[in-house]
Amino acid sequence: MIEKLNELKKILSKIADLRYAANVLDWDQQVYMPDDGDEERGEQIATILEISHNLFVSDEVGKLLMDLQSESIDLDPNSNEARLVKVTQRNFNKETKIPVNLLVELSQTTTMAHNAWVKAKTNNDFNSFQPYLEKIIELTKQKAECFKPFENIYDPLLDDYEPGMLTSDVKTIFSEIRPQQVELIKSISKSKQIDDSFLKRKYDPSKQWQFGIDVARALGLDWKRSRLDTTEHPFTTTFGQKDVRITTNISETIPTSAFFSTVHETGHALYELGFSPALRRTPLSNAASMAFHESQSRMWENLIGRSRQFWLYFYPKFKSLFPEQLSNIDLESFYKAINKVEPSFIRTEADEATYNLHIMLRFELEVDLIEGRLKVEHLPDAWNEYMKDYMGIIPPNDTLGVLQDVHWSAGLIGYFPTYAVGNLISAQLWEKMHEDMADLDDKICNGDFVELLSWLHSNIHQHGAKFEPQELIQNITGNRIEAQPYIRYLQTKYKDIYQ
């Protein structure tokens, strides 16, 4: 068995290297590549993905997995070896169902679509992006059809990011939390509104940049294994366990945008950098799911980065960088301003009380597109209708509406629900962390994140993709993913802020 396992690992290592190489090309496209390089870049990435796909779905891998399945019965089911066989078999079963020519076409299309999306967003021109999105939706439907029979055609797309979760599960979760969040927002709307006008002044981008780097370092990000760059839409990408890169987007008149994006992506990077070295270059050197990934980024961004305790330590430094803008602004006024609840157009800048509504909107639209009830040409109007229904506001243009997110141009259909589920997981973990670390708030007040990061590494990061998401959250908290900890968190926080 050892010999066969080593042979499988050898092949998986080559596949991991190829996919990391594709990530390098994708990162360069979004950060440095000149505009006219998109067609050739699409061909390059598609070639690498075709090679890695063919290597993975080969008869050799299939035979090794078949033999290892029967020979690993006596292994500890939670051992790295047993889990590697289990996860690789699951991935093999999925990938063998998709024709390689479909994967190649989808890769080439999304690479071309990225620059088209950037230009469309910049020029408020949805029509120029529409043909690309129509093709992406059609190819994505074809991909989903490969997994028949299913309860819902959206299920296999969601499963790519959240293993085992169904469309019906997401609908159940959203039907539980939506009325409670809407009620919270209604209660807040009746309270005295918070002044955040000082956050709309001009803030030196270079100082914003340096402050973000300093905070990321304080949170535990190792700059010998990471770097920060700017891009149209912030993201994190991985080239290996010692090279995880983050990006941000800086606005001179919205200083919190770059900061919270940087902290959000730092949360992703800390997760990726925390995988056990024993899992390196295998399918286990990944997150348990994208919801777990988002639980880490959203936790650092919001539960920590928007907390009073966090800014008790960091506000003096932030204020010293911008004395003209913040000279008369005390800590409490600043804390309330960065947590102001107000329906807004942009998801990435939304407050915690309304954020999940942005996700529900996108989920509904994606399901409508994939199920065929909505055509891409009608998407901007549908977006505006949903915004009116969910938020009570209508975007003045498509740049602030349907064109704001990078996900659809990248073919990431099924990803959006993981943000909301990640919020739920983050609150469950937060309650458990406070049980295990009675002085957690005091440590945050002192800018000490060592024990907090150690807890995350021990309970979550090091395990990578060994455990399925429901299994992992139950191992940590004793419960499956549930909504009420997040609702309790929101109600407690905003009751304090809005009294």
Chain CA centroid to CA 390, Å = 22
CB atoms within 10 A of CB 168: 12
Residue 341 is classified by DSSP as: -
Would residue 151 show up in a list of annotated catalytic residues for this protein? no
Q: Which residues pair with 230 in a beta bridge?
A: 248
Q: Which amino acid is at 169?
A: D
Identify which of 162, 167, 141 has the alpha carbon closest to the alpha carbon of residue 370: 141
CB atoms within 10 A of CB 253: 10
Chain CA centroid to CA 288, Å = 13
Q: Which residues pair with 227 in a beta bridge?
A: 245
Spatial distance between the Cα atoms of 442 and 313, rounded to a whole number of angstroms: 10
Residue 407 is classified by DSSP as: T
Identify which of 486, 494, 493 has the alpha carbon closest to the alpha carbon of residue 431: 486
Chain CA centroid to CA 231, Å = 16
Spatial distance between the Cα atoms of 66 and 235, rounded to a whole number of angstroms: 37
HEC string of 84-116 equals: HHHHHHHHHHHHCCCCHHHHHHHHHHHHHHHHH
- Catalytic position from the list 3, 162, 265, 468: 265
Return phi, psi of residue 83, to 5°.
-70, -35
Q: Which residue has the tokens 């157009």?
A: 345
Return phi, psi of residue 228, to 5°.
-120, 135
Catalytic residue set: 265
